Structure 1
Amino acid sequence: SVTGLILNALLLYAIRRFSGANLGSYKYLLTIFSLVDLFLIVLHVTVQPMWYKKQNISTFPKIIDQNLFEKVTTMYVGFQSVPFTLLSIHFLYRYWSVRRPHLIPLFSNKSFVVFLASLTVGELFSWHFLCLYTSSGHDASNATAAVVAKYESIYGKHIENAWIVMDNWPDGTFDVTLFTITVLMDVIMLTNLVVASSFAILTFMHIRQSYKTAARASELQQKLLLALCAQAAIPCLFVYTPFLFCINAPFVGIPGAWIPDISAPLMSFFPAWDAAIILLLFTDYR
């Protein structure tokens, strides 16, 4: 966490001090991303999340302080979606910069910025309410009791509040509600991945095929896109992979209790590596 704070603070300084004219308004997107990373670091330290998996039971990260309740936990999970929405916006910017440069001024248009912000906040609250709904409409008290007892046996603390429990097969029966929530979460994550990947592929293709792009400008666009792809790989590895496994594995009975154990540390690595990738790959900041 300390490393993440230092690297993101250094990145903010580098963006402000060393960004060349060639980056244009893209530096503002980098600034937003870095600020979000700083917020996620503080949130992670405050929440101290933990995943738990037992057979067909899984939990979302709980909050260590039992005075904070499950709505706060669901908001924490919701905030993990923000970097992925921003990545899609970044790839859209890169695509427009080479294919539709006349649309780039939209990123300075208040109405368009509000629209993009609405998409980001909308996805955040979609995750929030989906997580919140996992604990309504059915009794998960037995599963919660098992989680509480397991946590207490390991850490010596009895914490009942703030767990988001998904008992996928209560008493061996199929839970339609949790199945629907699982599918919707997968759709949201995969939609972001498909959108970002599509813009990346289209941008690569246009850079390679366009005869109008000067060699130097083409090289710059490719470097920026490669840096963004590397930046995108970090949350995919440290956030998407743990989420996809922890949400889906218990439902289909896939073993591997050690993955939830390392999920929280993996998620805490993301903001630091995100800043490190930008500092290392963007020539202006090296």
Structure 2
Amino acid sequence: AVTGLVLNALLLYAIARFSGAHLGTYKQLLTIFTVSNLFLVILHELVHPRAILIGTTHGGTTDTVFDDRRITALNAAFQSIPFTLLGIHFLYRYWSVRKPHLIVLFSSKKFVLFLVSIGAGQLLSWYLGSMYGTSGATDSVAKTALIAEYEKKYGKRIENAWCVLDHWRDNKLDMRLLAMVASMNVMMISALAIAATLAMLTFKHLNLTSQISTKASQLQRKLLIALCAQASVPSLFVYTPYLLVMNIPFFRIPITVIHDISVPLSTCFPGWDAAVIILLISNYRKGLMRMI
């Protein structure tokens, strides 16, 4: 947590202090992303999320004084923020190469409100899916088993903060849960697919266009490579573990290691994300090096 706070605070300072004029509105997007990373670092430290697998039953919980599953659902929902922001970042990069006249929209209050509404809708969908697509609000065999396993593993009893995915109770597939997980899969994979498509289209137009100078093309390519590297961090540290922990139990695969490492990986993501940006954007790297 300390490393994540320090790296993102340094990046926030670097964005404010060392951003060149060539970044334009993109500076604000980087600032928003870094602030969201700081928020996630603090959130992880406050709620202490955990994931547990017993047989084909997955349980997600948070360790707070409130012992409330709404906090667990909110924590899951907030993990969607980086991917909404990355989609917006890739759209900015694509427009800056293919349709530069549209970049002005990022300064429009109506367009910004539209983007915010997309992020809010994504967050709300995750929250509602976690709250009402899972069990845990009432006592059950699965919830009781998760409570006991958590107490055995971590030495603390958490009774109410559970979002339970009981995939095969009594050898019967939970169809409501299947629908919820399928919806989450579609949202996650769609976010990654949109970002990947925009990245490929931007690379394609950079190779084909003759409307911008060689220097401008090189700059756009460097920024796009940095963005792709940045996007790979939450993809590997957050979405891949999330996809695995929600879907593995459907196939009755008794692998608990993914659940054990999923939360530590998602906790590490904000720090690594900041490190990637600092290393790959030369203005920030050189500016911070001069301070040493």
| Alignment partner, residue 171 of structure 1 | 170
Q: Distance in 1 between matches of 2:67 and 2:154?
A: 19
| Alignment partner, residue 46 of structure 2 | 46
| Alignment partner, residue 21 of structure 2 | 21
- Tell me, which stretches of 5 or more residues in structure 1 are unaligned? none
Q: Deviations over 1:147-174 (max 9, x none)?
A: 0011111222221111100101111112
Q: Distance in 1 between matches of 2:220 and 2:134?
A: 46
SS at match of 1:51: strand
Q: Distance in 2 between matches of 1:139 and 1:173?
A: 19
| Alignment partner, residue 288 of structure 2 | none
Q: Is the 8 A contact 2:46 2:64 kept in 1?
A: no
Distance 1:137 1:156, change over 3 A: closer
| Alignment partner, residue 238 of structure 2 | 239
Counterpart code for 2:90 = F
Cα distance, 1:136 vs structure 2: 5.2
Superposed CA RMSD in Å reads 1.3
SS at match of 2:192: helix
Percent identity, aligned pairs only, is: 52
Cα distance, 1:63 vs structure 2: 1.3
Distance 1:219 1:20, change over 3 A: same
Distance 1:221 1:140, change over 3 A: farther
Distance 1:275 1:138, change over 3 A: closer
Q: Is the 8 A contact 1:140 1:167 kept in 2?
A: no
| Alignment partner, residue 268 of structure 1 | 267
| Alignment partner, residue 8 of structure 2 | 8
Shift >3 Å, 4+ stretches: 135-140
Of residues 216-225 and 254-263 in structure 1, the stretch that sits farther from structure 2 once superposed is: 254-263
Q: Distance in 2 between matches of 1:87 and 1:68?
A: 32
Counterpart code for 2:22 = N
Q: Distance in 1 between matches of 2:6 and 2:227?
A: 21
Q: Is the 8 A contact 1:43 1:76 kept in 2?
A: yes
Q: Deviations over 1:203-240 (max 9, x none)?
A: 00000011222111110000000000000000001001
Cα distance, 1:116 vs structure 2: 0.2
SS at match of 1:53: strand
Counterpart code for 1:83 = P
Q: Deviations over 1:6-41 (max 9, x none)?
A: 111111111111100111110100000000000000
Q: Distance in 1 between matches of 2:187 and 2:178?
A: 14
Mapping of residues 172-187 of structure 1, within 5 Å: 172-187=171-186
Cα distance, 1:67 vs structure 2: 2.0
- Tell me, which stretches of 5 or more residues in structure 2 are unaligned? 286-292
Q: Distance in 2 between matches of 1:184 and 1:96?
A: 29
Q: Distance in 2 between matches of 1:134 and 1:48?
A: 22
Cα distance, 1:244 vs structure 2: 0.4
TM-score (norm 2): 0.95
TM-score (norm 1): 0.97
Distance 1:54 1:102, change over 3 A: same
Cα distance, 1:65 vs structure 2: 2.2
Q: Deviations over 1:92-149 (max 9, x none)?
A: 0000000000000100000000000000011001000001013459976100000001
Counterpart code for 2:43 = L
Mapping of residues 1-286 of structure 1, within 5 Å: 1-60=1-60, 62-65=61-64, 67-135=66-134, 141-286=140-285
